[in-house]
Amino acid sequence: MEHKRVVITGMGAFTPLGQDMPHTWESVVSGRPNVRRIEQFDIRDCRTQIASYIDEYKPLLSENFSPSQLKNLRFGDRFVDFAALAAKEALSDARLLDSTGRLFETYAEETGISVGTSIGTPGKITEAANSFGFDHDINTADKTAVAEKMRHTSRKYRTSAITILPDSAAFTVSVLFGTKGIITCDVAACSTSNMNIILGATWIRHGYQKIIVAGGADALVDPLSTWLFGLLGVTSARNNDPSKASRPFDKERDGFVMAEGSAILVLEELEHALARGANIYGELIGWGVTSDGGGFTQPESDDIKNWGQVRSIKIALHDAGISTADVDYINAHGTSTIVGDINETKTIKEAYAEYAYKIPISSTKSITGHFGGTTGALETIFCIQAIREGIIPPTINYEIPDPECDLNYTPNVAVKKKIDIAVNHSFGFGGQNAILVLKKFDNESHGKEQSA
């Protein structure tokens, strides 16, 4: 069966760097982070006391959604709201919404959803449990008293059985905009949104859907997540210098900075996009997915050729039908952890061979922080923008070179360069690896293919 081509026709982002995609991208290119001390909850004894977080945003919901749509946002967690706002921007950008803010009915059955989250709703679970009286151990709680309290508590908490589900962002986006195709939510730690993009692209490639709303959302700046990642020792303790805390590949790095938000892309089958006169921002030409099969936070094997990270890159390049020589830019996973950045540098050297030192690389997490399940989709947008504008975003805070991280990481300042093909790396906890290959869309060459 002939494979369908997958293009990107809409992009949306809701982040601490900007409340839409253009402003977020502008902050990234300019190297302007928005990392601050956490003020929303008591974090005094935690290793990490800083994050990149979103301030009050609720008025934006009323500005972007009708009263009937707002009813479906009453009980969701923050990450659901973030997904809704990013999806609204992406679908509007793709010109798929009617005057009421709903999907044109003619596209409803052709459109599916593939939106994930890495953690789901830890804050919502805690909030609901405390409201019902499960302050400590659920097994020792007074069940009669809890049942009575539940009868008299607000509907907000009685609907928790639905709103704590990890796929609540996915199905809320579907309900808000009226899609009637596939809905799914893949959970794959830091690789979550790349995996959701890959799932959506696979459905389009094989003809199951014409359009997929794909990406991720996370609200990781909450007490539970902040404490847990701090206890793991993977987040930065540079609390007195927040804007300098995320420093991928720098010798003085000490962990990542947590962030929150959402990034959504509209994936579309090429002929469908052309037929309706859509703007095409780029093409997704290949992808690769593997697992390490050992080690929660890093590969266990000494044989680097068999690392899941290396294999995922090689699979993606093969799937795209390109060689390492064709790659113009790599958006690295680059989390700013000590071991992770060294391992990714080794991975790049093994996967890209002699071209590893020639290909410009950057870690935009130096600016954005780590968005968890949003990361892959956000960095896919950055790859597309890099291709469109011919600019490689910088890796900021790169001040002291690490001998074990010795590639071209585009230090501190964006660089102008013609880019035809970009590769996006995502490596998640548990050894979950997802790679995307993106290409500049050439309408002229497509026309020649059609006439040949």
Residues 425-448 pLDDT 10s: 999 988 899 999 999 998 765 554
The label of the residue with tokens 């000590």 reads 338
Rounded to an integer, what distance in angstroms lies between the CA atom of residue 376 and that of residue 63?
Answer: 28
The one-letter code for the residue type at 409 is: Y
DSSP states of 238-275: -TT-GGGS--TTBTT---B-BBEEEEEEEEEEHHHHHH
Asked whether the domain spanning 287-451 has the same topology as the one spanning 6-275, the reply is yes
Rounded to an integer, what distance in angstroms lies between the CA atom of residue 334 and that of residue 314?
Answer: 19
Given a contact cutoff of 8 angstroms between Cβ atoms, the answer to whether 189 and 427 are in contact is no
* Domain 287-451 in CATH 3.40.1190.20: no
The label of the residue with tokens 């923050």 reads 78
Give the pairing of strands 211-219 and 50-51: unpaired
The region, left, alpha or beta by phi > 0 then psi within -120 to 50, assigned to residue 363 is beta
pLDDT at 290 over 60: yes
Radius of gyration of the chain (CA): 22
Average pLDDT on 344-367 reads: 97
Given a contact cutoff of 8 angstroms between Cβ atoms, the answer to whether 50 and 36 are in contact is yes
**Tokens standing for 336?**
């700013």
- For residue 3, the 8-state DSSP code is P
pLDDT top residue among 266 and 138: 266
- Please give the distance of CA 11 from its chain centroid, rounded to a whole number: 12
- In sequence order, the β-bridge partners of residue 433 are 290, 427
User: At residue 234, what are phi and psi to the nearest 5 degrees?
Assistant: -100, -5
Helix, strand or coil, per DSSP, at residue 185: coil
**Tokens standing for 281?**
């921002």
Residues 362-375 pLDDT 10s: 999 999 999 999 99
The one-letter code for the residue type at 327 is: V
Helix, strand or coil, per DSSP, at residue 179: coil
Question: Active-site positions?
Answer: 190, 333, 370
Give pLDDT, residue 303: 75
The label of the residue with tokens 């808000």 reads 176
Given a contact cutoff of 8 angstroms between Cβ atoms, the answer to whether 170 and 79 are in contact is no
Give pLDDT, residue 273: 98
Q: Which of 291-300, 377-386, 407-416 has the lowest mean pLDDT?
A: 291-300
Binned at pLDDT 50, 70 and 90, residue 156 comes out as low
Select from 3.40.1440.10, 3.40.47.10, 3.40.50.1100, 1.10.3190.10 the CATH code of 6-275: 3.40.47.10
pLDDT at 317 over 90: yes
| Domain segments of the chain as ranges | 6-275, 287-451
Residues 24-81 pLDDT 10s: 999 999 999 999 999 999 888 899 999 999 999 999 999 999 999 999 898 778 999 9
Rounded to an integer, what distance in angstroms lies between the CA atom of residue 133 and that of residue 124?
Answer: 14
270-302 b/e (C-beta count within 10 Å ≥ 16 → b): bebbbebebebbbbbbbbbbbebeeeeebbeee
Given a contact cutoff of 8 angstroms between Cβ atoms, the answer to whether 372 and 32 are in contact is no
Given a contact cutoff of 8 angstroms between Cβ atoms, the answer to whether 172 and 236 are in contact is no
Given a contact cutoff of 8 angstroms between Cβ atoms, the answer to whether 369 and 51 are in contact is yes
Portion of the chain with pLDDT greater than 90, in percent = 76
Residues in the chain, overall count? 452
> Smallest Cα–Cα separation from 260: which of 41, 435, 79, 127?
79
Binned at pLDDT 50, 70 and 90, residue 161 comes out as low
Given a contact cutoff of 8 angstroms between Cβ atoms, the answer to whether 163 and 121 are in contact is yes
Q: Which helix (H) or strand (E) holds 171?
A: helix 168-177
- Please give the distance of CA 188 from its chain centroid, rounded to a whole number: 11
Rounded to an integer, what distance in angstroms lies between the CA atom of residue 414 and that of residue 208?
Answer: 39
Average pLDDT on 170-174 reads: 96
Rounded to an integer, what distance in angstroms lies between the CA atom of residue 314 and that of residue 302?
Answer: 18
pLDDT at 278 over 90: yes
Binned at pLDDT 50, 70 and 90, residue 142 comes out as low
> Smallest Cα–Cα separation from 93: which of 14, 17, 8, 9?
9
pLDDT at 150 over 80: no
> Smallest Cα–Cα separation from 400: which of 241, 254, 251, 249?
251
Give pLDDT, residue 165: 81
Give pLDDT, residue 431: 81
Q: Which of 84-93, 221-230, 338-347, 376-385 has the lowest mean pLDDT?
A: 221-230
